[in-house]
Structure 1
Amino acid sequence: MTGPEHYREGEKHIREADKAETPDEASRHMSAAQTHFNAAHIALLAATHQPGSVAWQEAIGP
């Protein structure tokens, strides 16, 4: 997944948490959202601070 894809997935999990039927289900979605937002943030930082790094560019996608 690319950084933007992780961000969109995080947004999806927040919407699902809002519709959750139980607190446990909402918590699982919020945890997944946080994980995706962290991955998106790392991808952004890697692209910003190491723009010439071939390894990072391959890891984070286009």
Structure 2
Amino acid sequence: MTKSRVIWGWGIIILGIVIISISPLLKFIPLIYGISIFIIGLFILFNKDEDKIEQIRNVRRSKK
């Protein structure tokens, strides 16, 4: 798990939680955005395929 992915994942998750928590004060339209952003943050945080792609790139670069 790369450091940048953890930072971006948690940052987006926190942003989603903030939007979700503010949505009852506003209209409930931000709730849709907040849930979407939260899910994207989870996807970024737990995406393992990106690490495999980066390893393949690093192997190809080291062979050249």
- TM-score under structure 1 length normalisation: 0.59
Larger radius of gyration: 2
* Count of aligned positions: 51
Partner of 1:22: 27
The CA RMSD over aligned residues, in Å, is: 2.5
Deviation at 1:54, TM superposition (A): 4.9
Percent identity at matched positions?
4
- TM-score under structure 2 length normalisation: 0.58
The answer to which structure, 1 or 2, has the higher relative contact order (CA under 8 A, 6+ apart) is 1
Q: Which 4+ stretches in 1 moved above 4 angstroms?
A: none
Partner of 1:38: 43
Unaligned stretches of 5+ residues in structure 2: 59-64
Distance in 2 (alpha carbons) for counterparts of 1:7 and 1:55:
25
